[in-house]
Structure 1
Amino acid sequence: MMISIEKLSIQDAASLFQFEVYNRAFFEKSVPSRGDAYYQYDHFLRGLQALLDEQAQGISFFGLIKNSQGDILGRMNLVDIEKDEGIGHLGYRVGEDTAGKGVASQALKIFLTEHVPQLAVKTICAKTTTDNISSQKVLLKNGFAPYDIGLETPDDFLHFRFCVQRVR
């Protein structure tokens, strides 16, 4: 499957909202709910504008995983970019129709090669719950290494780190 990662823009609002609503129950099986307000379009638009403002400031990158027809298959984000320390925090999700088909692994590879070089990061951190084996496989397949287990909630998290190699 041919996919790409496109930088989030306001033009994506309606299709991204549909993607999030369609996949809500699927996402909430593995991550905390974003709350009912998130799924009201006016509230969603305000949140989207806040993300776009963060992106314009260079403290986050929000990407949409799309197929060759332009349909949204998932999201690939780097947030809380600490420019002084060169650290960013990875988050991603793919929709239920796409899960288990290698899209997340392929998208992360594209993200690391095509988008990360333009971002001010040397290290990318990620975490996943200990029972999210598929997410762990995506990270490991793309060169992330486990480095810590935290106890932030009653669930254990596995922490991963990726060191960005600069080609000069």
Structure 2
Amino acid sequence: MPELQRLRPDHAPALLAFERENRAYFAATIPDRGDDYFAHFDARHAALLAAQEAGLDHFHVLVDGDGAVLGRVNLVEVRDGSAELGYRIAEKASGRGLATAAVLRTCALAATTYGLTALRAVTTLDNAGSRAVLDRTGFIPGDGILLDGRPGMRYARDLTELRDDLRRSAA
């Protein structure tokens, strides 16, 4: 079973390979990162790690037994007890429940380790897989929005009940 790991400097080569291999797949349902992302990947990776170290964001990769990245789950714009959730799973790993499991694990981390009380997420309406993951992991749909010119939806998840349940089960 793949392992969710907090982003580290040594993940950079596998993460870049993941992003390159899945670029067209991701661009079919979410805005493309653009050529600049790949051209300056090392600097961007260092900036992500610095933001994580400062507690502004929390980045995770889903890694298989060989060290290949199968997905990523990020919590960005951490403030006032909340953050925005974003995730992507490799095409070769889709349809196996990995996104759902990784999002659930990240929600637990957000509620316990990171002390967050709420998460937000957005997705395009044509991204049925992402909408299903959000529905299965306790996110509630909200307002409609435009994402890169495409119809989308905001979602929210209250983490206080999850945090309380996790505390009770640990006691």
Q: TM-score, normalised by structure 1?
A: 0.90
RMSD value, Cα: 1.5
Larger helix percent: 2
Q: Is the 8 A contact 1:73 1:98 kept in 2?
A: yes
1:29 to partner: Cα distance: 1.2
How many corresponding residue pairs? 163
Gaps of 5+ in 2: none
Residue 44 of structure 1 aligns with which residue?
A: 41
Partner of 2:151: 156
Structure 1 position 79 matched with structure 2 position 76: yes
- CA deviation map 1:107-145 (0-9, x unaligned): 111212245411132110001111111111101101111
Equivalent-residue separation in structure 1 for 2:92 and 2:44 (angstroms): 25
The one of 50, 53, 67 equivalent to 2:50 is: 53
1:147 pairs with 2:146: no
Q: How big is each residue's C-alpha offset from its partner over 1:24-60, in whole Å with a ceiling of 9 and x where there is no partner?
A: 11111112221112223xx100000010011011010
* Paired residue secondary structure (2:112): helix
Q: In structure 2, which of residues 119, 124, 134 is the aligned counterpart of residue 124 of structure 1? A: 119
Moved over 4 A (4+): none
**Percent of counterpart pairs with the same letter?**
34
TM-superposed CA distance for 1:70, in Å, is 2.8
Counterpart of 2:66, as a letter, is: Q
For structure 1, the residue ranges without an aligned partner over 5 or more in a row are: none
